[in-house]
Amino acid sequence: MTETYRPRRSVLYVPASNDKALSKITSLACDAVIIDLEDAVAPADKVSAREKLAGIFASRPGRRCEMAVRINPLSSEWGADDLLAAARCEPDAILLPKVDTPRDVLEAGDVLDDNLSPDEVKLWAMIETPKALLNIGPIAELGRDPASRLVCFVAGTNDLVKETGILATPDRRYLTPWLMQMVLAARAGGLDLLDGVFNDFRDLEAFARECGEAAAMGFDGKSLIHPAQIDAANRAFAPSAEAVAEARSVKEAFALAENAGRQVIALNGKMVERLHLAQAEKLLAKAATIGA
């Protein structure tokens, strides 16, 4: 989680070529949307979808949900022009697919710098290839350098399944080691981390279960393919009422005069340290931001 918390519990992909879906953005309760130029747009529609970006961002919703653009890979015939078009729109972030090495992020950042994009335009990186997983430590380290603009990882679970040939089981048993590797790297680099999409948008029970598991793993939110998934994601990645109450009790206990300056206190039969106070303060700040 970044130092100033910005919720990314529910992050919805919206195809840049789908006017009907775009028209609904203002009414959605998701924390962020990703205007997609890549997987959700057919090759024949890539250029026309890109040309619609300026209009999409000119009418961006008054409710300040975060808006990102996923471009095509920079190695593709569309990627370089996508990046320039997205930069001109000054979105909150540009999502880079098929990131394999730190150089992929740095080169995109150089383009933004050369075109005088404001520092507020950040970069997100898809982790969706075997090479990305092998290089995930150095990629994540870029998060410690504000000049890199990198603030978030997005798990590309469908592509990882395709590229590795593993079996995609409902419990994600073969993916889980890589997902936890992403969590460790993201935390080492001070990055946010979004779980991959759940493909069957009609099975909301299974979706909610996967969100709960991702939250328990340490993910900050989930990327979505349908508005019906928003509410479950928002609930799963928000602090529970019990967690908020416990955090408040920790903060209040350390605020007592008799505990001033103490590093460890007893609370409800447990030993509580200052590090737990820091965790409690973060959780309370998160709850306040999202109204939990």
CATH superfamily name and code, 10-236: Phosphoenolpyruvate-binding domains (3.20.20.60)
Are 54 and 75 spatial neighbours (Cβ–Cβ below 8 Å)? no
- Give the Cα separation of 187 and 193 in Å (integer): 9
Are 69 and 24 spatial neighbours (Cβ–Cβ below 8 Å)? no
* pLDDT in the model for residue 252: 87
Tell the residue number behind the tokens 């740095």, with chain if given: 106
Which region, left, alpha or beta, applies to residue 88 given φ > 0 means left and ψ of -120 to 50 means alpha? alpha
- Give the Cα separation of 15 and 159 in Å (integer): 18
Nearest Cα residue to 94 out of 63, 58, 118, 125: 125
Q: Residue 37: what residue type?
A: L
Q: What is the largest CA-CA distance in the chain?
A: 69
- Give the Cα separation of 6 and 173 in Å (integer): 30
- Give the Cα separation of 152 and 143 in Å (integer): 8
Helix (H, G, I), strand (E, B) or coil at 18: coil
* pLDDT in the model for residue 181: 98
- Give the Cα separation of 152 and 252 in Å (integer): 33
Nearest Cα residue to 194 out of 12, 5, 3, 4: 12
Are 28 and 12 spatial neighbours (Cβ–Cβ below 8 Å)? yes
Residues of the chain with pLDDT under 50: 1-2
pTM: 0.90
Q: What is the DSSP letter of 38?
A: S
Nearest Cα residue to 214 out of 230, 194, 229, 234: 194
pLDDT in tens, 112-126: 999 999 999 999 999
143 φ, ψ (degrees, to nearest 5): -65, -20
Our CA dihedral for 236, 237, 242, 248, rounded to 10 degrees, sits at: -170
Helix (H, G, I), strand (E, B) or coil at 151: strand
Domain chopping of the chain, boundaries: 10-236, 241-290
* pLDDT in the model for residue 3: 54
* pLDDT in the model for residue 2: 40
Q: Token digits for 286?
A: 């998160």
94 φ, ψ (degrees, to nearest 5): -120, 125
Q: Token digits for 75?
A: 């190695």
DSSP codes joined into one string, 104-119: HHHHHHHHHHHTT--T
- Give the Cα separation of 111 and 210 in Å (integer): 37
